[in-house]
Homo-oligomer: A and B are copies of this chain.
Amino acid sequence: MSVRLGTLLDKLAPELQPELLGDPELLIQRLAPIDTAGPADLAFVSHLKYLNKLAVSCAGCVIVSPALRAAGLARGACIVVTDPYLYFAKLTQRWKQLHQPSSYAQPSTLIHPSAFVDPSALVAGNVSIGPFAFVGPRARLDEGVRLGAHAIVAQGASVGVGSRLAERVTLGEDCSLGQRCLVHPGAVIGADGFGFAPNAGRWEKIEQLGAVRIGNDVEIGANTCIDRGALEDTVIEDGVKLDNLVQIGHNVHIGAHTALAGCAGVAGSARIGAHCTVGGGAVILGHLSLADHVHVSAASVVTRSLLKAGHYSGIFPIDDNAAWEKNAASLKQLHALRDRLRHLEKQLQSQPVTQAGTPFQSKEKS
């Protein structure tokens, strides 16, 4: 469905001071990447490094930053805006609103006939409950909540205003989800934490008596798991974004607006600050603390608390397999190599050094 450019942009994000340099009557068929966009497509360029793509793009119109104003105009129609990426994000929301209005509209109350809602559940107005969904005893669904097919809201759990649980989501007993949250298919909120006491070679279960408490505007990816606390609650603060297949252990606390990419794992009782980012596949060990604004690279393993904001990494560099084999073998002797180096240093110190050679003062060219 094509949309007039003027309609698309109307009153969109005025705080970003968008300025259309082109014809508002242009019909836009898609939002598209800069390199595949055609004459009926709207694209964006956020980084100067894509300047070369801008010059040759066939896009009908391109969103650019003020720095690219001249380059954008030289090419054709453009929208100049202070933050093209953010403006583009807002555009995707409007696009979806226009094309899939049902995703945004307040539903009128609609409970699929195949769903099962316990009579003691509290269901507010304008709630939509999909096929085969189950809402347990004393569960609470606030205004505008949507449950996808096969969603489960267990006994005593609650979902805040405007939140959406996609298909096959489980919100466990007594767990709570704030407002405007979005939970993707297969996510499990409130399974038991992994707690056992050793007992003569066996494991004695520690019943997990806490719950999971999730703030507002949280997004939780597909098949992601957030365990309930052992004694107190596992807490996810406002605005946190969790990608798919993320594991959050019991008693974890994640500060506001922190984002974890796919396959990341956070072990029990870890405390992650606000405004952090954790790369895909990273692992954070238990009982550690991460300060606000800590950024962990993908696949890195956090083995100690990181109490200073900053960017941290620990990745074995990839190499062709033969080179890796040699370096990995040497790595197993690294401590010994260090000792041998130290021996050599001592040996040389004890030798008469020629006057000409004062190597430690010589300039190193990296």
Chain A residues proximal to chain B, CB less than 8 Å: 30-33, 36, 83, 85-86, 88-90, 92-93, 95-96, 112, 114, 116, 130-132, 134, 149-150, 152, 154, 166-168, 170, 172, 182, 184-186, 188, 191-192, 194-199, 201-209, 217, 219, 221-223, 225, 227, 230-232, 239, 241, 243-245, 247, 249, 257, 259, 261-263, 265, 267, 275, 280-281, 283, 285, 296-304, 306, 310-321, 323-335, 337-354, 356-357, 359-360, 362, 364
* Partner of A338 from B114, B243, B333, B339 at Cβ < 8 Å: B333
Residue of B nearest to A259 (CB): B203
Min CB distance A82 to B, Å, is 12
Identical chains bound together, number: 3
Asked if B203 contacts A257 (CB within 8 A), the reply is yes
Min CB distance A351 to B, Å, is 6
Residue of B nearest to A339 (CB): B364
Asked if A318 contacts B300 (CB within 8 A), the reply is yes
- Which residues of chain B have C-beta atoms less than 8 A from A262's C-beta? 194, 225, 247, 249, 265, 267
26 A-B pairs in the complex with CB atoms less than 8 angstroms apart: A32-B231, A33-B232, A85-B197, A89-B197, A92-B205, A92-B207, A92-B230, A116-B131, A149-B152, A152-B167, A168-B186, A170-B185, A182-B205, A184-B191, A186-B186, A186-B188, A196-B259, A223-B245, A285-B298, A296-B318, A311-B321, A315-B328, A330-B338, A342-B364, A344-B344, A348-B348
